[in-house]
Amino acid sequence: MTAIETCTADLAAFERIVRNRRSVRGFLPDPVPPAVLREIFELAQQAPSNCNVQPWQVVVASGAACRAISEKLLAAITSGQPVTSDYQRVEEFPGIMRQRQIDTAVRLYGHMGIARDDRAGRRRAMLRNYEFFDAPHVAFIGMDRRFHETVAVDVGMYAQTLMLAMTAHGIGSCAQAAISRFPEIIRAHFEIPDDVGILMGISFGYEDVAVPANRTRVPRAPLGEQVRFVE
């Protein structure tokens, strides 16, 4: 195979992985083999970061550990315990971003058979976050609480690299801000130091294609709306 042919094949594989990555909201109970887990997280370590500081701190829970933290988070949210966060969150998006958020919800709830006025159905859909959509694994990703936006960018690049590595291994994932809402519970459960803030969680495993929510596909904005090429 020539260098050009190799490049073409690599590009095709990369494009397929990027386009196939999406939020999966329903998983099979089958666990990812430990050796595959290590391959994925080893690959994610190649993510870029400022001065190679690699600021991400990650806890991966599987099996009973995954179920136990899910139960604690569910108990917190259903009991009405006030939500907290280690970092400031955007609660409402402006303009076209709000419209995209609405359009995504319409598509998702449409596949799930939840009407706009079905408050019980919408709450049940929200609680599915804390069940990790039945995923057999969850990863909590954080960083030192002394750091702010510029270092959080590094952690975001790590999370994207991680999810692309999962996709390449045939594993679905869903990045979730919701399950970082009770960071004190997460820290206590996993004995995470108090100086590590929880940024996000990622539920992952093998996709259950029978789950209606997994039929949801959302479009991306035309390139011209968000990217300018200047010569």
**What is the per-residue pLDDT across 193-231, written as a single tens digit (0 to 9) for each?**
999 999 999 999 999 999 999 999 999 999 999 999 999
Pick the CATH number of 24-89+130-218 from 3.40.366.30, 3.40.109.10, 3.60.15.10, 3.40.50.2300: 3.40.109.10
Q: Is residue 190's pLDDT more than 90?
A: yes
pLDDT grade for 1, boundaries at 50, 70 and 90: confident
**Tell me: the pLDDT tens digits for 82-97?**
999 999 888 789 999 9
Instruction: Please give the mean pLDDT across all residues of the chain.
Output: 96
Q: How many CA atoms lie within 13 A of 77 on its CB side?
A: 20
Has residue 69 got a pLDDT over 90? yes
Domain boundaries, the chain: 24-89+130-218
pTM here?
Answer: 0.95
Query: What is the percent of the chain with per-residue pLDDT over 70, rounded to a whole number?
Result: 100
Output the DSSP codes for 65-84.
Answer: HHHHHHHHHHHHHHTTPPP-
The residue-averaged pLDDT of 175-192 equals: 96
